[in-house]
Amino acid sequence: MKKFQANLLPLLIGSLPVDDHSEAIELVLECTPQIPLWVQLPVHKEERMIDQFMPGMPGIASLKDKTFINSAGDNFETELLQFYEEYMAVTDGAADRDKSRFVLDETVAGGFFTFMERVKRLSEPPVAVKGQSTGPFTFCASVNDENGMAIFYNEQIRDAAVKLIAQKAGWQAKKMAEFGCPVILFFDEPGLTGFGSSAFISITREEVAACFEEVIEAVHAEGGFAGVHVCANADWSLILESAADIVSFDAYSFFEKFLLYPEQIKNFLASGRILAWGIIPTLRAEDIEKENVDSIVANWDEKVSQLEKLGISRAKIVTQSLITPSCGTGSLSLEHAKKVLRMTKEVSDILKEKYKI
């Protein structure tokens, strides 16, 4: 993988509350030109988290505006066989992935193609570029079969879904590598906040870890850096002990919960990997309104002091940290979203100046 030093650079999380991809990428380049990303616009139904990565699944069916996997359908077994035949052909090199189901297309990911064209026109390549995908757990816990059961509980359908997500992530990473700079690919996993609860009591840690292993390996195989983003609380040991290169967490609202995993945090940073600090609030409008750049910088410094007490040097934390919003801004007002983006840039600028990097 190409070398990448985080050095408190600003980075965004996926979505924006606009309806035009050209407008979205210009907002991104204005605030995070060092690491631009392609933007999801959830105002368009097809760009919402699950819908965007559904195409290509065998057995897709709809009823009363609800999309599900119909494993009882007459053609399901045939569709499943065709899925695996195509998967094997692509992974064996016998078929072109660019012409397969394992790609994003403009009908669901217009932001990706707008991004690719816009970055090509930059006068020099960025420090890095970023893409994202719905994470395998969130996808498989959110998509249901014909009986209303999450497809995670069907080992066969889950395997197909994870392979679909892995291949689409690898395709993204390969495409973005054309810019000649490091590629970062985040797997967005809001569903992990429910792992371990009664809703998912029969799902094992090993099953979830295996899903992560497969999708992260697909990004690594293309020379990219894989991140996992969770915008609330989670079993952070599961993520910190995975092969993820970057762990993205809500440092504004859930830092104390994150700090409950001191050994895993120490081992993660000792291995040279990166924390993406979601220190700019996005969860509550009142937090966005009351905070300013100075208060957030002070908040970050105070939280870093708590990590130092674990025996981690501030210098290591500084060089292995990114500054991000706590989550995407697609559900915010445009005014609040712009403030979040602006504060992300300005907090990063102040901290980089403070630490001379």
Statement: residue 79 has pLDDT above 70: yes
Statement: residue 1 has pLDDT above 60: no
Alpha-carbon distance of 139 to 143, in angstroms, equals 6
> Cα dihedral sign for 67, 108, 181, 37?
negative
Check residue 182 and report its DSSP letter: -
Instruction: Give the residues across from 186 on adjacent strands.
Output: 132, 227
Query: Residues 28-35: what's their mean pLDDT?
Result: 97
Residue 106: predicted pLDDT: 95
Residue 198: predicted pLDDT: 67
Instruction: Give the residues across from 274 on adjacent strands.
Output: 246
CA-wise closest residue to 141 among 127, 169, 162, 126: 162
Angle between helical axes of 21-31 and 334-354 (0-180°, round to 10): 20
Query: Residues 331-353: what's their mean pLDDT?
Result: 98
Residue 195: predicted pLDDT: 82
pLDDT tens-digit map of 238-272: 999 999 999 999 999 999 999 999 999 999 999 99
3-state secondary structure 298-329: HHHHHHHHHHHCCCCCHHHHHHCEEEEECCCC
pLDDT tens-digit map of 106-149: 999 999 999 999 999 999 989 999 999 999 999 999 999 999 99
At 87, the amino acid letter reads: Y
User: Over the chain, what is the mean pLDDT?
Assistant: 96
Domain boundaries, the chain: 21-354
Distance of CA 234 to the CA centre of its chain: 15
Q: Contact at 8 Å (CB) between 186 and 133? A: yes
Give the domain 21-354 fold. Answer: TIM Barrel (3.20.20)
Q: Contact at 8 Å (CB) between 166 and 221? A: no
Q: Contact at 8 Å (CB) between 320 and 275? A: yes
At 122, the amino acid letter reads: L
pTM of the predicted model as reported, rounded to 2 decimal places: 0.96
Angle between helical axes of 293-308 and 334-354 (0-180°, round to 10): 50
pLDDT tens-digit map of 198-237: 677 889 999 999 999 999 999 999 999 999 999 989 999 9
Alpha-carbon distance of 343 to 292, in angstroms, equals 7
Tell me if residue 131 falls in helix, strand or coil. strand
pLDDT tens-digit map of 293-320: 999 999 999 999 999 999 999 999 999 9
Token pair 């990219």 is at which residue?
Answer: 224
Angle between helical axes of 110-120 and 21-31 (0-180°, round to 10): 50
DSSP string across 121-148: TSSS--S-EEEEEE-HHHHHHH-BBTTS
Residue 2: predicted pLDDT: 59
Statement: residue 54 has pLDDT above 80: yes
Query: Residues 156-160: what's their mean pLDDT?
Result: 98
Confidence of residue 64 (pLDDT cuts 50, 70, 90): confident
